[in-house]
Amino acid sequence: MSAAKKVLIVGGGIGGLSAGIALCRAGIAAEIVELQSEFNVYGVGIIQQANALRALDALGVADEAMRRGSPYGKVKMCAPHGFQFGETGTPPIGRFPSHNGISRKILHDVLYEAAQENGVVFRMGITVEHINNQPDQVEVQFTDGSSGTYDLLIGADGVNSKVRNLIFGQFTPRYINASVWRFAFPRPAGLETGYMYFGKKTKLGLIPMTADTIYMFVVSSEGEDNPFIPEEELVPRLKAYLEEYSAPFVQEVLPQITDPKGVIYRPLETLMTPAPWYKNRVVLIGDSAHATIPQLGSGAALAIEDAVVLAELLEKESAISSVLEQYMERRYERCKLVVDVSNTLSEWEQMEWKGLPLPEGANMGALMGKTLMVLTQPI
Ligand SMILES: Cc1cc2nc3c(=O)[nH]c(=O)nc-3n(C[C@H](O)[C@H](O)[C@H](O)COP(=O)(O)OP(=O)(O)OC[C@H]3O[C@@H](n4cnc5c(N)ncnc54)[C@H](O)[C@@H]3O)c2cc1C
């Protein structure tokens, strides 16, 4: 029988919601505290590869995510004018296709609804103020003045995790000199799968989100200063990046980029928290433990997998210390691989954009393919 009867999860994002569902399905009471008083998830999309769907299936929500998202096959890799020179993506795993594109908002809704159905308790608009982390329990004071005692506290509060800072020390995410611009559109007729176009200074993706919608991402290098871009510059700068892409699908959506509020601009940061990601009765999952840049489209997949593995171990093991050791054994190398390879891909990409020669033997397609194959292995 599990030694964990009552677990506190800090953060109600993809990782926290997944942990809540997985724990309740394992018969363990789960409470989520979320800093925002109301969830406010932006409407561009997220790529879920077959391993993400496999993990969502362990939570009982893969079919709903595919029903409300847009399953598709491999991504077509193209020149800026549209000529296809290759394809990328994980092979299908069982009944799960290479990809499911989905709006972040819809994915959040699917997870939130399942969390509620499974009995997760939500406390919105608060966070942890103080954590007394003992070998056999964890006592928590919250920012609303209340307190509680739990068998385990899961930090799922993202890349700038407060739990991490309180328990493991200060680690600052590293900006990698690149940013992502995203925008949602109605789905162009004939866009049957994901597309990636490789330009001289940027990379562009068109990703299905639902039967009727897609989102575009553009990865650019904004230099080393992590510049703030004022709202009035968002549309002209994004459109300037798109000029070299004469591919018909890009040209079709380009005139629709008029509202700066629709441009979701985000500098990219990475942080691999040193192992172990646990101390006494506090453990980290998702971006608080391993924030990756999205070159492999796998950060959220890792967060869901973390939650599934942790709950599976808590259900079958009686000693929490053994659960946490096994959690690290099963998660660390896999997550580090994604973080490291994503950083390498971005470095090579940026060298190409600067016209610099790549290191001997560097092959982006091969490295991506090899890493995505590793992710198909059982967790
Ligand atoms: C540009 C970009 C594109 C990406 N694309 C993909 C993709 O295509 N596929 C993919 O798999 N991954 C992708 N990712 C990665 C993915 O978004 C993250 O890995 C994933 O969101 C991590 O989930 P999380 O729950 O750990 O953290 P988050 O999603 O950051 O959730 C953290 C939650 O905790 C809350 N919170 C924060 N601080 C506190 C606090 N102190 N107390 C309580 N609550 C708190 C937040 O409000 C939030 O609800 C992308 C990331 C970026 C930046």
pLDDT of 21 reads 98
The answer to whether the CB of 127 is under 6 A from ligand 1 is: yes
The answer to whether the CB of 248 falls within 8 A of the CB of 189 is no
The answer to whether the CB of 33 is under 6 A from ligand 1 is: yes
Say how many Å lie between the CA of residue 14 and the centre of ligand 1: 6
Note whether residue 136 is domain-resident.
yes
Gap between the Cα atoms of 351 and 8, Å rounded: 44
Does residue 264 carry a pLDDT above 90? yes
Note whether residue 87 is domain-resident.
no
Last residue of a domain, one of 205, 238, 268: 268
The answer to whether the CB of 20 is under 6 A from ligand 1 is: no
The domain in which residue 241 lies consists of: 176-268
Residues 211 and 161 in one domain: no
Residues 279 and 263 in one domain: no
Say how many Å lie between the CA of residue 20 and the centre of ligand 1: 15
The answer to whether the CB of 179 is under 6 A from ligand 1 is: no
The answer to whether the CB of 318 falls within 8 A of the CB of 198 is no
The answer to whether the CB of 45 is under 6 A from ligand 1 is: no
pLDDT of 292 reads 98
Say how many Å lie between the CA of residue 346 and the centre of ligand 1: 20
Last residue of a domain, one of 268, 299, 327: 268
- Residue nearest (by alpha carbon) to ligand 1 atom 1: 180
- Residue nearest (by alpha carbon) to ligand 1 atom 41: 162
pLDDT of 4 reads 93
The answer to whether the CB of 266 is under 6 A from ligand 1 is: yes
State percent of the chain over pLDDT 70: 100
Q: In what order do the strands lie in the sheet with 282-284?
A: 121-124, 29-34, 6-10, 152-155, 282-284, 278-279
Say how many Å lie between the CA of residue 330 and the centre of ligand 1: 21
Note whether residue 286 is domain-resident.
yes
The answer to whether the CB of 124 is under 6 A from ligand 1 is: no
The mean pLDDT of 344-360, rounded to a whole number, is 96
pLDDT of 3 reads 77
The mean pLDDT of 264-268, rounded to a whole number, is 96
Q: How confident is the model at residue 316 (pLDDT cuts 50, 70, 90)?
A: very high
State the CATH number of the domain containing residue 180: 3.30.9.30
pLDDT in tens, 35-64: 999 999 988 999 999 999 999 999 999 999
Give the number of C-alpha atoms closer than 13 A to the C-alpha of residue 114, restricted to the C-beta side: 28
Does residue 310 carry a pLDDT above 80? yes
The total number of structural domains that make up the chain: 2
State the CATH number of the domain containing residue 57: 3.50.50.60
Does residue 1 carry a pLDDT above 80? no
Note whether residue 366 is domain-resident.
yes
Give the amino acid at 376. Answer: T
- Residue nearest (by alpha carbon) to ligand 1 atom 14: 299
DSSP H or E segment with residue 241: helix 231-242
State percent of the chain over pLDDT 90: 96
pLDDT of 59 reads 98
Say how many Å lie between the CA of residue 13 and the centre of ligand 1: 6
pLDDT of 228 reads 83
Does residue 225 carry a pLDDT above 90? no
pLDDT of 110 reads 98
- Residue nearest (by alpha carbon) to ligand 1 atom 7: 297
pLDDT of 208 reads 97
pLDDT of 372 reads 95
pLDDT of 124 reads 98
Q: In what order do the strands lie in the sheet with 213-221?
A: 84-88, 75-78, 195-198, 202-208, 213-221, 174-186, 264-272, 290-291
Query: Could you give the C-alpha distances from 14 to 208, 259, 368, in angstroms and in order?
Result: 20, 28, 24
The answer to whether the CB of 301 is under 6 A from ligand 1 is: yes
Note whether residue 32 is domain-resident.
yes
pLDDT of 227 reads 77
Residues 63 and 165 in one domain: yes
What is the number of the ligand 1 atom nearest to the C-alpha of 161?
38
Residues 224 and 366 in one domain: no
The answer to whether the CB of 205 is under 6 A from ligand 1 is: no
Does residue 358 carry a pLDDT above 90? yes
Q: How confident is the model at residue 235 (pLDDT cuts 50, 70, 90)?
A: very high
- Give which of 331, 336, 340 is closest to 378, Cα–Cα: 331
Mean pLDDT of the chain: 96
Residues 247 and 282 in one domain: no
pLDDT in tens, 112-159: 999 999 999 999 999 999 999 999 999 999 999 999 999 999 999 999
The answer to whether the CB of 107 is under 6 A from ligand 1 is: no
The answer to whether the CB of 12 is under 6 A from ligand 1 is: yes
Say how many Å lie between the CA of residue 300 and the centre of ligand 1: 7
Residues 258 and 292 in one domain: no
Residues 185-208 as b or e (16 or more Cβ within 10 Å = b): bebeeebebbbbbbbeebbbbbbb
Last residue of a domain, one of 216, 250, 268: 268
Note whether residue 83 is domain-resident.
no
Does residue 226 carry a pLDDT above 80? no
Residues 157 and 132 in one domain: yes
Other CB atoms within a 10 A radius of the CB of residue 74 amount to: 17
pLDDT in tens, 18-27: 999 999 999 9
Note whether residue 31 is domain-resident.
yes
Residues 52 and 143 in one domain: yes
Which of the listed residues 41, 46, 122 should we mutate to test ligand 1's pocket, taking the one with most ligand atoms within 8 A of CB? 46
Note whether residue 254 is domain-resident.
yes
Gap between the Cα atoms of 61 and 57, Å rounded: 6
Q: What angle do CA 254, 257, 261 make, to 5 degrees?
A: 160
The answer to whether the CB of 91 falls within 8 A of the CB of 50 is yes
Say how many Å lie between the CA of residue 266 and the centre of ligand 1: 13
Residues 61 and 135 in one domain: yes
Say how many Å lie between the CA of residue 72 and the centre of ligand 1: 23
